């Protein structure tokens, strides 16, 4: 395999030189995240060979069955971060409360919120799955991190990204805004991530919409109108769109980030258990919104920028409409029209 010689580590160190006040802590943190993702990648890629697939028989805080690989990814990321002296606490989609840093390890300034293995119901079918992470600076000042350190709006993120374990394994991250979004592909022969996607920009408009259309009957009126109009010429593009839906958020998001278009998981008005959609603000929506905006895209609930949603609980869910600006704005316009009545 031919590739540039720019590893993830070299890239982050070089970026860090633009900030003379930086102490290299973030570089170290990202290295630990990348290391954990390589271990998870190793296990997911041999998942069919060992007795690791399938359910554990346990149910997580979301009421979902926990896959063995979910548990493995959760503990791998935690163990890669807990001893580093970089984190004040960690919040995982799989755990009801924040994961404190054990007393025998030093406490740091960063808070990592993450979904260790997103799309895990797809594992048994070899469909791409991924890890999503967001990094905040702590706001509490005590000895150990607190829940409020994790309960910060996405606009306070200092970095965010994701890893896709797919046909190849790619780690994408951003420090936001002009720092840009960058992708690194894992070369398994050397066990390193190499720069493969420098300064990813998402197209201003695309031809793809991604959603679980089986939920159509329980969608609200603006969502139905939006999707109906994407299938006709009655939209800003003046042409009908194509559907692409994997059911694995990181994979759906990544494809649309590169090709343009929109992913939506709207609120489900007929199911009282998911009044605000299915996806979690802290571990899924805010980190991807941070990446999307840094690539020139938009992310919205339909009524509000995702990065401005104030979290009130760790496992809060929000509707997510994310992707190219033209399509996300079109959804927002339809919502505004319906609100006016």
231 Cβ contact list (under 8 Å, min separation 6): 240, 241
| Cβ proximity to ligand AFP, 7 vs 71, nearer residue | 71
Tell me the closest approach of the beta carbon of residue 71 to ligand AFP, in angstroms: 13
281: DSSP letter: I
268 binds ligand AFP (CB under 6 A): no
| Cβ proximity to ligand AFP, 84 vs 218, nearer residue | 218
Q: Which of 94, 118, 149, 192 binds ligand AFP (CB under 6 A)?
A: 118
41 binds ligand AFP (CB under 6 A): no
Q: Which two tokens stand for residue 194?
A: 């190499």
Tell me the closest approach of the beta carbon of residue 276 to ligand AFP, in angstroms: 14
Tell me the closest approach of the beta carbon of residue 121 to ligand AFP, in angstroms: 3
Cα(306)–Cα(286) distance, rounded to whole angstroms? Answer: 6
64 binds ligand AFP (CB under 6 A): yes
Phi, psi of 247 (to 5 degrees): 90, 15
Helix%, strand%, coil% for the chain, nearest 5: 35, 25, 40
> With the CA atoms of 333, 281, 41 and 138 taken in that order, what torsion angle do they form, in degrees rounded to the nearest 10?
130
CA-based nearest residue to 292, from 177, 210, 147 = 177
54 binds ligand AFP (CB under 6 A): no
Instruction: List 192's β-bridge partners, or say none.
Output: 187
| Cβ proximity to ligand AFP, 246 vs 307, nearer residue | 246
**Binding range to ligand AFP, per CB under 6 A, among 15-23, 31-39, 246-254, 321-329:** 246-254
Tell me the closest approach of the beta carbon of residue 98 to ligand AFP, in angstroms: 20
Rg (CA), the chain: 19
- The Cα-based distances of 78 to 95, 114, 218, 283 in angstroms read 11, 10, 37, 14
**Binding range to ligand AFP, per CB under 6 A, among 13-21, 115-123, 166-174, 323-331:** 115-123
Tell me the closest approach of the beta carbon of residue 141 to ligand AFP, in angstroms: 34
Q: Which of 33, 200, 249, 314 binds ligand AFP (CB under 6 A)?
A: 249
Cα(116)–Cα(13) distance, rounded to whole angstroms? Answer: 25
Cα(181)–Cα(49) distance, rounded to whole angstroms? Answer: 35
| Cβ proximity to ligand AFP, 100 vs 245, nearer residue | 245
Q: Which of 9, 75, 212, 333 binds ligand AFP (CB under 6 A)?
A: 212
Binding residues (CB under 6 A) for ligand AFP: these are: 64, 118-122, 212, 247-249, 252, 278-279
């Amino acid at each position: 395999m031919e590739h540039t010689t720019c590893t993830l580590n070299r890239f982050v160190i070089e970026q860090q030189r633009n900030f003379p006040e930086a102490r290299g802590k973030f570089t170290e943190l990202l290295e630990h995240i990348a290391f954990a993702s390589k271990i998870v990648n190793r296990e997911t890629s041999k998942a069919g060979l060992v007795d690791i697939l399938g359910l554990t028989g346990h149910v997580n805080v979301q009421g979902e069955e926990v896959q063995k690989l979910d548990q493995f990814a959760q503990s791998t990321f935690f163990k890669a971060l807990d001893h580093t002296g970089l984190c004040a606490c960690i919040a995982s989609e799989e755990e009801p409360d924040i994961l404190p840093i054990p007393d025998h390890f030093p406490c740091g300034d960063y808070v990592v919120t993450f979904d260790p293995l997103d799309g895990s119901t797809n594992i048994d079918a070899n469909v791409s799955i991924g890890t999503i992470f967001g990094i905040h600076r702590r706001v509490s000042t005590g000895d150990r991190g607190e829940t409020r350190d994790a309960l910060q709006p996405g606009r306070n993120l200092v970095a965010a990204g994701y890893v896709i374990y797919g046909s190849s394994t790619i780690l994408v991250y951003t420090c936001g805004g002009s720092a840009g979004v960058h992708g690194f592909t894992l070369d398994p022969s050397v066990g390193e991530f190499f720069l493969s996607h420098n300064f990813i920009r998402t197209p201003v408009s695309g031809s793809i919409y991604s959603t679980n259309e089986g939920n159509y009957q329980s969608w609200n009126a603006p969502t139905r109108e939006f999707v109906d109009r994407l299938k006709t010429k009655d939209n800003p593009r003046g042409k009908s769109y194509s559907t692409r839906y994997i059911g694995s958020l990181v994979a759906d998001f990544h494809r649309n980030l590169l090709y343009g278009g929109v992913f939506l998981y709207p609120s489900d008005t007929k199911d009282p258990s998911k009044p605000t959609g299915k996806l979690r603000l802290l571990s899924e929506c805010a980190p991807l919104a941070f990446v999307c905006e840094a690539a020139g895209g938009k992310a919205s609930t339909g009524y509000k920028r995702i990065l401005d949603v104030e979290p009130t609980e760790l496992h809060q869910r929000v509707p997510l409409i994310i992707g190219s600006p033209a399509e996300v704005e079109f959804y927002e316009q339809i919502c505004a029209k319906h609100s006016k009545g």
